[in-house]
Amino acid sequence: MTKIAAVIGGGVIGGGWAARFALNGWNVQVFDPDPQAERKIGEVMANARRSMPGLTDVALPDEGKISFHDSISDAVQDTSWIQESVPERLEIKHTTFGAIQQACDPDAVIGSSTSGFKPSELQDGMARPDQIMVAHPFNPVYLLPLVELVPGNGIDGPLVDKAKETLTSIGMYPLHLKKEIDAHVADRFLEAVWREALWLVKDGVATTEEIDNAIRYGFGIRWAQMGLFETYRVAGGEAGMKHFMAQFGPALKWPWTKLMDVPEFNDDLVDLIAGQSDEQSGAYGIRDLERIRDNNLVSMMRALKQQDWGAGRLMKQHEATLRVGTVLDARADDIADASQPVLTVRRAVPLDWTDYNGHMTEAKYLQAFADATDRFMELIGCDADYIASGGSYFTAETHIRHVDEVHAGALIEIRTRVLMGAGKKMHLWHEMYEGDRLLATGEHFLLHVSLQTRKPSNPSPEIEAALVRFAQGHASLPMPEGVGRFVGAPR
Q: Indicate if the pLDDT at residue 87 is higher than 90.
A: yes
**Whole-number Å distance between alpha carbons of 7 and 135:** 13
**Among 71-80, 221-230, 358-367, 433-442, whose mean pLDDT is lowest?**
221-230
Residue 96 confidence (pLDDT): 98
pLDDT band at 258 (very low <50, low <70, confident <90, very high): confident
Residue 154 confidence (pLDDT): 64
Asked if residue 100 lies in contact with residue 75, where contact means CB atoms within 8 angstroms, the answer is no
Q: Could you count the other beta carbons within 10 Å of the beta carbon of residue 358?
A: 9
Q: Region 184-206: what's the mean pLDDT?
A: 92
**Whole-number Å distance between alpha carbons of 185 and 179:** 10
Asked if residue 387 lies in contact with residue 317, where contact means CB atoms within 8 angstroms, the answer is no
The DSSP bridge partners found for residue 429 are 417, 443
Residue type, 226: M
The DSSP bridge partners found for residue 397 are 445
Q: Return the percentage of the chain with pLDDT > 70, whole number.
A: 98
Q: Region 77-90: what's the mean pLDDT?
A: 97
Binding site members? 9-14
Return the closest-CA partner of residue 321 out of 48, 17, 25: 25
Give pTM, 2 decimals: 0.87
Residue 289 confidence (pLDDT): 87
**Whole-number Å distance between alpha carbons of 138 and 151:** 18
Q: Which residues contact 359 (CB under 8 A, 6 or more apart)?
A: 405, 406, 407
Binding site members for NAD(+)? 9-14
Q: Which residues contact 53 (CB under 8 A, 6 or more apart)?
A: 23, 59, 60, 347, 348, 350, 409, 411
Q: Are strands 437-450 and 425-434 parallel, antiparallel or unpaired?
A: antiparallel
In 308-350, where does DSSP find H-type helix? 311-323
Residue type, 71: S
Residue type, 411: L
Which residue did the predictor score with more confidence, 412 or 295? 412
61 DSSP 8-state letter: P
Q: Which domains does the chain have, with CATH numbers?
A: 4-184 (3.40.50.720), 187-283 (1.10.1040.10), 328-474 (3.10.129.10)
Q: Which residues contact 85 (CB under 8 A, 6 or more apart)?
A: 7, 8, 9, 10, 11, 13, 14, 17, 112, 113
**Among 124-138, 278-292, 462-476, whose mean pLDDT is lowest?**
278-292
**Whole-number Å distance between alpha carbons of 337 and 408:** 33
pLDDT band at 287 (very low <50, low <70, confident <90, very high): confident
Q: Indicate if the pLDDT at residue 491 is higher than 70.
A: no
In 144-251, where does DSSP find H-type helix? 158-169, 186-202, 208-214, 220-226, 229-235, 240-248
φ and ψ at residue 447, rounded to 5 degrees: -125, 140
**Whole-number Å distance between alpha carbons of 27 and 79:** 9
Q: Indicate if the pLDDT at residue 170 is higher than 70.
A: yes
Q: Region 371-398: what's the mean pLDDT?
A: 96
Q: Which residues contact 46 (CB under 8 A, 6 or more apart)?
A: none
Asked if residue 30 lies in contact with residue 41, where contact means CB atoms within 8 angstroms, the answer is yes
Q: Return the percentage of the chain with pLDDT > 90, whole number.
A: 72
pLDDT tens column, 313-342: 999 999 999 999 888 999 999 999 999 999
**Whole-number Å distance between alpha carbons of 142 and 68:** 19
Q: Region 217-222: what's the mean pLDDT?
A: 86
Return the closest-CA partner of residue 441 out of 394, 407, 474, 483: 483
Q: Indicate if the pLDDT at residue 431 is higher than 90.
A: yes
pLDDT tens column, 393-404: 999 999 999 999
**Among 187-191, 263-267, 274-278, whose mean pLDDT is lowest?**
263-267
pLDDT tens column, 437-467: 999 999 999 999 999 999 999 999 999 999 9
- Please spell the DSSP secondary structure of 5-37, one letter per residue: EEEE--SHHHHHHHHHHHTTT-EEEEE---TTH
pLDDT tens column, 94-146: 999 999 999 999 999 999 999 999 999 999 999 999 999 999 999 999 999 99
